[in-house]
Every structure is written in C-alpha cells, then in structure tokens.
Amino acid sequence: MGILDFITGELIDVIHWTDDSDDTIVWRFEREGHEIKYGAKLTVREGQAAVFVHEGQIADVFSPGLYMLETNNMPILTTLNYWDHGFKSPFKSEIYFVNTTRFSDLKWGTKNPVMCRDAEFGPVRLRAYGTYEVKVSDPARFLTEIVGTDGEFTTDEISYQIRNIIVSRFSSAIATSGIPVLDMAANTPELGKHLAQRIAPEIAEYGIELPNLFIENISLPDAVEAALDKRTSMGIVGDLRTFTQYSTAEALTTGAATPGNGGGLAAGMGAGMGMAMAGQMAQQGPWGARPDNAYMPPPPPPVEKVWHIADNGKTKGPYARAELGRMAEEGKLKRDTYVWTVGLDGWKTAGELDELAQLFTIMPPPAPKG
C-alpha cells in the first residue's frame, strides 16, 4: 500500500452499508487494519443494526440513525496521531452491519416420512414441506452465537440448521395438534402457527425469530394414498350393476361416434355383449338354465361408519353408531353436538343428520312391572 492510499484511508470518516443482494445477513465494514477514525460518522439505515466490536468484545449496538464516533468509550485509532508506532495503531475495532429485515421464501421439508398416530387410521407416515421467514431479533446475540468472525454471512449458512430444527419439531407438533389426518389439509395455517410457536424459544437463543412458517403440503405414502383413492372410488361408484350398465352404454356411444371406423363400434358392442353374457351366465346354472330355487349370494353387508365428536375445541372418537346411541341416552350427545364422518363436507350437528336424529326421537317403551 502506497503512502497516498494510506493517507486517503485515514481521511475516510463515513461508515455505512448498502446491500444489493437478497441473502446477506451480516457484513463487516472493511478498513485497513480494522482501524476506525475518531469522529467518524456512522450511518445506520432502516432495516439495519450496527454492532461495534472493540478489541474482540462487543462494545455497543447501534439502531437506525446517524452517529458520531467521538465519545469517551470510542477508541482514538487514527494512526496519524501515533508516529511512534510506525503508522501502526495498537487499537483494533470492527463494525458489523446486521440486516434486520425479513428473509422470506426459505424452503424446508422432511427428507424421510415422519411416523404419527391417527385416531382413525392408526400409525401413519407423513411427509410435509413448505416455506418460512427468518429475521434477526437480537443482533449482538446473533453475532456471538452464529456469525463469529465471518466477514459476510448469508442465509445459506443458517438455513440448513433452521430446516433441521423445523423437521425435528414437526412430528411432536403434529402429535399434539389433535387434528385427524384427513383434516390436516384444511388446517395447514393453524399447524404452521403451532409449529412456529414450538420452535420460537429454541431459535431465540441464537438471536433470530420466525415471523411466519407455512406448510404447503402434507402427504401420505403412495400406497396409502392409492388405498384411499380406491376407497373413495368405491363410494362414488355405489351400485356395481348400475355402473356396469353405464360403462357398457358409454362404450357403445364411443364406438358409434368414431367417424369412418367400424372397429370402435364393434369393440363397443362386443364389450357390451360380453358383459351381458357374463351376467347371464352368472345367474344361470351349469347347463345354462337357472332353476327357481337357485342360490343367490347375499349382498355385501353395509359398511359401518365411525363418527368423531367436537368437544370444547378437541376431537374425540372414533365412535360407532351404537356408542352414540348410549351417549344420547346418557345426555353426553345432544342435537347441537358437532359430529363428523367420512363423506361429510364439514362438521355438522347431530340433529341435522337423519341417521343420528333418530337417536333423539326413538324412546324405549316403559319398563315392565315386576
């Protein structure tokens, strides 16, 4: 460094930071030998904080404003006043600028499925992902606990640690939320707030906070989702015989609508005739004729529904209909009690549903006299 550069550095008396990036959290003001001139002007803009470090220790934290570094606790570091040290000041000071704005759209997600227990399905494995926001709430603690002597600290250097904390606390947050698996998609905002509250005390020890945490998706393993899709399809199809007739008619209509191609019509007719013949053969005996006393298999038994009850903001259940009947007799289930079962588009009162309203209208006959 030439003598002109040295003199020019000594005359610099404005300390500030303007950030053009979108991921820098901490930036250290660089001076030759980390020497801060006595009487220098320190400009701290909105969304920033300046941490003054003198001889390796944090001396002060400056909020937004304009400051003159000339108070008694500020070291006089101008080497022009220390000729006896050969232009080398014995005092070393540093200023770290800390970005206190929010850093948003940071990603998190579970690498492996998280095991949880659901009231209706039992043990299930869940995957989840989303975004979060991070903000420095205590610049001095953040500099001490995380940054250290790093001259430029970015979000990439801390996002990995925060993601690990979020994922490790996700399982316990889901377990204590009391929300059934089928209702989690409709309650992701509440789950995100619940998860952020559990994480807040832990990350506060590093001088940071999470203003927002969003859960974008919660999913089950592919095999479980396939089973749920099949169960939903069976509920939509309903009567298998009617569905078969509808499929046959669709095949005939599609074949007839194929222009210039008789193969489609023939295929549709063949499919329809095959289904019809298969149905007739199933109804007839081994020689083609069905006797009057031929055995007809009974229809499948109806699927027993299970019900959930909302009680003071908590979900209870599942209960069978017979259990609900006993609860109605004991007064634990009333007409205005909110209930839910698979197939409902939301919570309903028991009195709104015909199959449960009967529990309140049918009364047993008087007991026989002894």
**pLDDT tier for residue 273 given thresholds of 50, 70 and 90:** low
The residue among 99, 124, 139 that closes a domain is: 99
Tell me: the pLDDT tens digits for 327-345? Answer: 888 888 888 899 989 888 8
**Are 136 and 202 contained in the same domain?**
yes
- Beta sheet of 24-28, edge-to-edge order: 57-62, 48-54, 93-99, 24-28, 152-154
* Domain boundary, last residue among 221, 244, 277: 221
| Tally of CB atoms within 10 A around 89 | 19
**339: helix, strand or coil:** strand
Confidence of residue 210 (pLDDT cuts 50, 70, 90): very high
Confidence tier at 25 by pLDDT (50, 70, 90):
very high
Shared domain check, 112 and 94 = no
Residue 342: domain span: 307-361
Mean pLDDT for all residues in the chain? 76
Which of 204, 221, 238 is the C-terminal boundary of a domain? 221
- Is the pLDDT at 366 greater than 90? The verdict is no
The more confident residue out of 349 and 81 is 349
* 353 found inside a domain: yes
pLDDT, tens digit, 9 for 90 and up, residues 240-255:
666 677 667 767 666 6
Predicted confidence at residue 88, as pLDDT, reads 41
Give me the pLDDT at residue 102, please: 93
13 domain residue, yes or no = yes
Euclidean distance between CA atoms 306 and 214, whole angstroms: 31
Q: Tell me, yes or no, whether 149 and 94 share the same domain.
A: no
Residues 108 and 130 in one domain: yes
Is 302 a domain residue? no
Does residue 178 sit in the same domain as residue 216? yes
Q: Are residues 107 and 215 in the same domain?
A: yes
Decide which of 86 and 357 is more confident: 357
Q: Based on the structure, what is the number of domains in the chain?
A: 3
Residues 117, 186: one domain? yes
Of residues 176 and 307, more confidence is placed in 307
Can you tell me the mean pLDDT for 219-226? 77
> In this structure, is residue 30 part of a structural domain?
yes
Claim to verify: residue 8 and residue 94 sit in the same structural domain? yes
Average pLDDT over residues 193-216: 91
Instruction: Verify that 87 and 30 share a domain, yes or no.
Output: yes
**Percent with pLDDT over 90 in the chain:** 18
Contact 48, 64 (CB under 8 A): yes
In sequence order, the β-bridge partners of residue 53 are 58, 94
Q: Does the pLDDT at position 274 exceed 90?
A: no
Indicate whether 20 and 124 sit together in one domain: no
Percent of the chain with pLDDT over 70: 68
* pLDDT number for residue 85: 38
Q: Does 100 or 253 have the greater pLDDT score?
A: 100
The mean pLDDT value for 51-69 works out to 85
**How confident is the model at residue 363, as a pLDDT?**
58
* Residue 78 and residue 167 share a domain: no
Find the range with the poorest average confidence among 31-40, 147-156, 252-261, 294-303: 252-261
What element of type H or E holds 319? strand 314-319
Q: What is the mean pLDDT of residues 193-212?
A: 91
pLDDT at residue 209, as a whole number: 93
Residue 367 lies in a domain: no
Residue 117 counted as domain residue = yes
Domain harbouring 194, CATH code: 3.30.479.30
| Chain segment 131-148, per-residue pLDDT in tens | 999 999 999 999 998 888
Could you tell me the CATH number of the domain that includes residue 314?
3.30.1490
Alpha-helical (H) ranges within the chain are: 3-11, 139-142, 156-177, 188-204, 222-237, 240-256, 262-283, 321-329, 354-361
Asked whether residue 114 falls in the same domain as residue 56, the answer is no
| Separation of alpha carbons 319 and 30, rounded Å | 69
- Specify if 176 maps to a domain: yes
Q: What single DSSP character describes residue 147?
A: I
Q: In this structure, is residue 123 part of a structural domain?
A: yes
* 278-335 pLDDT tens trace: 555 555 554 444 555 555 677 766 667 888 898 888 888 888 888 888 888 888 888 8
